Chain A
Amino acid sequence: MRRFRATLASLFVTTTLVVAGCSSGSPGGNAAQAGEPVSGGSLTWAVETEPITFNPHQYAQAKTRLLVWNTFEALLTHDDKGGYLPWLATGYEVSPDGRAYTFKLRTDVTFSDGTRFDAAAVKANVDQLLAPNYAPAVAAVQLKNLDKVEVRDAATVVFRLRKPDVLILDFLSSPQGAQISPKSLQEAENLKAGGPQLAGTGPFVLDRYTPGQEVHFTRNPAYNWAPPNAGHSGPAYLDEITYRFLKESSVRVGALTSGQVQLIEGVPATDESLISATPGLSLQRGLNSGSTYSYYFNTAHAPFDDVLVRQAFREALDVPAVLAGVYRKTATRAWSVIGPTSPFYDKSLENTYGANAQKANQLLDQAGWTARDAEGFRTRDGKRLTVRLVQSAPFVRDRRDVLAQAVQAAVKQSAGIDLQVQLVDQGTATKALADGAYELFDNSRADTDAGAALNLMLYSTGSINRTGFKNPQLDKLLDDAVATTDQAGRTELYRKVQQLVITDQALVLPLYAPQDQIAASRSVGGVGFEPTAGVPGSAYRLWLGK
């Protein structure tokens, strides 16, 4: 009988080793300047992305993950190797058939509204997630194998699955699996939008949100249940922290260099020299986990229903050239839908396609797009080879709009493809996607387990399957991969998935592995990235040195 017993003692040992062995991006990486951790003070952090919701169950923007963990916490968290550490749960057991996960919960945790955290609260959160029209994507994907949640006693909760699904652990350590006070779930006026009305167990309390401007958190003085890799215990160091939403990168950099804010995230490559040229500022980069930033081809209608055209588009683009233009030398080129830091990454895909204009033109000729119009674009039966990429403004980061224009120019020059880029608001983008009025969809996901991202985007019924590609073989591979507990077995299954979607079907054009950058004043200590996820960490570790 196999038992996974994650005990606190053994975890403490591993995390101490992990923390000690970390170099870049570790907590206290710039402690030399900020001195020893001190309690008190307030910080302002300028961030690129304003959340479309503060409800963690509705979380969809990787750029807002750093805000989630200030107020909310999950049952488990990740170490920096993709493994699990206890958080609100002290440990878990898996039944031999892989269909029951029993969690032991901490008994000393209260939500900031005074409600006790217990097994009933966990069940209330799952019930809410399964409520109709609340979080359909979570219910349909992450919780699709969940049968029921049983409350055994106040400190014990059992997740019963219909079939084995290792991703349940990833879900319970993700923002969507974060715990909201059951009282808030019942009483909040606008539950889906979240905000000050939603109470969590986190080290900070969200007490003020000014749309379009900033969100403000104050310390939760009762907090004493940090995960073992948090770097310290007890309440947070900072009294308060304000996140200002500054969409323009030049404005963020200016705010930092002029001392209006102490931290910024999202530093474009062109501005990195400004940061390094300013004494008293430091810059850190972290590579995200999950799926790479890629263009997904819509196979539901012409022209990308034809695999030749999909391959041609990929061949038409010299990815390193456009990346060098937009990101200088800071971007890591992606070859697969899975990021190069993931254990499931298939390295054999490297250098198997791309940057071959001649081949692109041959493929397009073969597909019947032989004629050219006055502007040099290819046509077939008098119809121009036009493809649309609809970008939703709240999700645009890292100058992806500029990158799209670079791609636009490149595919026009090399193969006569007319790429039309539309940068629109969220509502317009949602409508375009629902109507199928797009040929390309762009996306990256910072899921800690890449499998979670693939289930959303490649599975035939995945909630962000924008390729419209439905294939029983692919579904089976994805199903088997979550039912397999050993890493080698999962790696082999995901290798087959990548071969199918990248090599055989050319469903995806991978562009780069997303990364985050943090630039900070050297007076700020504890600046770093969330382990495994690679996105900026929460404010719990931060302190303001003298």
Chain B
Amino acid sequence: MTIALDRPGAARARSLRAPRPGLAAAAVFLVLALLAALWPALFAGDPLAADPLHVLEAPSGQHWFGTDQLGRDVFARVVHGARHSLSIGVAATLIAVGAGILLGLLAGLSHKIADEALSRSFDALSAFPLVLLALLFIAIAGTGTTSLIVAIGMALVPHFARVVRAQTFVVRRAAYVTHAVAFGAARSRLVVRHVLPNVLGPVPVLAVLGLGEAILLAAGLSFLGMGPQPPSPEWGAMISEGRGYLHVAWWASVLPGAVVTATIVALTVAGRFYQRRFEGRELA
């Protein structure tokens, strides 16, 4: 009897080099989603063309994802919806990253009292569920795509701010910073040239993972009617519009839901892979 034993080093080397099927699928899906968001006409026709004679038809060769309650092609709406959903996610994440870096740096470089005040407010905001925070912003700002983006961005800010602050704490005590101070570098130069580039390391990883969260949140809030208004094809809104027909036409809401799920899973897989690469360790 022989037992095949891989040397641990070999397994590690292979897992870093050979593409894994999950990762490959995620990458392909994300590329397709990106293409759909940028050039939807490559994949599908008019997402708003209603056809009252062909409502709630099951998926077929002509309508891959079936038709919805107004006879619109669900696949075309999902493809065109990628632009709405992904752009909301990306814009919100950019807001969160920008504001998070700024506030995190500010807290990390401030004196004790200011740092405490900022950190505790990050903690307090983190204690609320994201959806609740976003709903609060929308309640103040009103519904619509712009306020949805701002609301999600705001809700995600503490996420980034806390990491940047912690990173700033490490970096400001690093030898190259203390030496720069000793050489009499100006404070602004110190921050821009020495601290900022070195605290940003984990941010892209977090941003990829945050993007998934932002897209999920956007779909959730659109489901509640807080996002782009009808007839805009937005994934969350599509799930919401289709849910009244779940008994008779599951495809109108289940398939957009599957696409949202696939997007977030793909982003998470990609984000985790990136995270492992960045942190230089393998979990497998």
Q: B-contacting residues of A (Cβ < 8 Å)? A: 248-250, 253-254, 268, 270-271, 273-274, 318, 321-322, 324-326, 399, 402, 405-406, 408-410, 412-413, 420-423
**Looking at the complex, which one of B50, B225, B230, B245 makes contact with A410 (CB distance below 8 Å)?**
B50
Q: Does B1 contact A (CB under 8 A)?
A: no
- Chain B: interface residue total (CB-CB under 8 A): 24
**Looking at the complex, which one of B49, B51, B225, B247 makes contact with A274 (CB distance below 8 Å)?**
B247
Smallest distance from the beta carbon of B229 to chain A beta carbons, Å? 7
Pairwise interchain contact B243-A406, C-beta atoms closer than 8 A? no
Q: Does B23 contact A (CB under 8 A)?
A: no
Q: How far is the CA of A469 from the CA of B120 in the complex (A)?
A: 60
Chain A residues positioned under 8 Å from B243 (CB to CB) = 248, 250
Pairwise interchain contact A271-B70, C-beta atoms closer than 8 A? no
Given the known inter-chain contacts A402-B69, A402-B70, please indicate yes or no for A410 contacting B248, CB distance below 8 A.
no
Chain B residues positioned under 8 Å from A406 (CB to CB) = 50, 52, 70
Q: Does B182 contact A (CB under 8 A)?
A: no
**Looking at the complex, which one of A253, A405, A413, A421 makes contact with B247 (CB distance below 8 Å)?**
A253
Q: Mark B64-78, 1 if CB is under 8 A from A, else 0.
A: 000001111000000
Question: Could you pull out 20 A-B pairs where Cβ atoms are within 8 angstroms?
Answer: A249-B244, A250-B243, A270-B56, A271-B248, A274-B247, A274-B248, A321-B53, A325-B55, A325-B69, A325-B70, A326-B55, A402-B70, A402-B244, A405-B50, A405-B70, A408-B230, A409-B50, A409-B70, A413-B49, A420-B229
Smallest distance from the beta carbon of A78 to chain B beta carbons, Å? 33
Q: How far is the CA of A402 from the CA of B55 in the complex (A)?
A: 12
Q: How far is the CA of A326 from the CA of B52 in the complex (A)?
A: 8
Smallest distance from the beta carbon of B188 to chain A beta carbons, Å? 46
Smallest distance from the beta carbon of B246 to chain A beta carbons, Å? 6
Secondary structure call for the A interface: helix
Q: Does B106 contact A (CB under 8 A)?
A: no
**Looking at the complex, which one of A248, A405, A422 makes contact with B244 (CB distance below 8 Å)?**
A248
Q: Does B61 contact A (CB under 8 A)?
A: no
Q: Does B280 contact A (CB under 8 A)?
A: no
Smallest distance from the beta carbon of B11 to chain A beta carbons, Å? 50
Q: Does B99 contact A (CB under 8 A)?
A: no
A-B residue pairs, 7 tightest by C-beta: A325-B52, A409-B50, A321-B52, A325-B55, A270-B248, A406-B70, A250-B244
**Looking at the complex, which one of A248, A249, A405 makes contact with B230 (CB distance below 8 Å)?**
A405
Pairwise interchain contact B50-A413, C-beta atoms closer than 8 A? yes
Question: 19 new A-B pairs (CB below 8 Å) besides A325-B55, A420-B229, A423-B225?
Answer: A248-B243, A248-B244, A253-B247, A254-B247, A268-B244, A270-B249, A271-B247, A273-B248, A324-B53, A325-B71, A326-B55, A326-B70, A408-B230, A408-B231, A409-B48, A409-B50, A409-B231, A410-B52, A412-B48
Q: How far is the CA of A163 from the CA of B213 in the complex (A)?
A: 68
Pairwise interchain contact A409-B49, C-beta atoms closer than 8 A? yes
Chain B residues positioned under 8 Å from A322 (CB to CB) = 52
Smallest distance from the beta carbon of B65 to chain A beta carbons, Å? 18
Q: How far is the CA of A318 from the CA of B50 in the complex (A)?
A: 13
Chain B residues positioned under 8 Å from A399 (CB to CB) = 244
Chain B residues positioned under 8 Å from A421 (CB to CB) = 229-230
Chain B residues positioned under 8 Å from A250 (CB to CB) = 243-247
Q: How far is the CA of A273 from the CA of B245 in the complex (A)?
A: 12
Closest to A269 in B: B248
Closest to B245 in A: A270
Q: Mark B236-262, 1 if CB is under 8 A from A, else 0.
A: 000001011111110000000000000
**Looking at the complex, which one of B53, B231, B246, B249 makes contact with A405 (CB distance below 8 Å)?**
B231
Q: How far is the CA of A249 from the CA of B246 in the complex (A)?
A: 11
Closest to B246 in A: A250
Chain A residues positioned under 8 Å from B55 (CB to CB) = 325-326
Q: How far is the CA of A333 from the CA of B109 in the complex (A)?
A: 70
Closest to A248 in B: B244
Smallest distance from the beta carbon of A427 to chain B beta carbons, Å? 13
Q: How far is the CA of A406 from the CA of B243 in the complex (A)?
A: 17
Smallest distance from the beta carbon of A387 to chain B beta carbons, Å? 15
Smallest distance from the beta carbon of A374 to chain B beta carbons, Å? 14
Q: Mark B51-63, 1 if CB is under 8 A from A, else 0.
A: 1110110000000
Chain A residues positioned under 8 Å from B52 (CB to CB) = 318, 321-322, 324-326, 406, 410
Chain B residues positioned under 8 Å from A405 (CB to CB) = 50, 70, 230-231
Smallest distance from the beta carbon of B234 to chain A beta carbons, Å? 14
Closest to B52 in A: A325
Closest to B70 in A: A406
Q: How far is the CA of A421 from the CA of B48 in the complex (A)?
A: 14
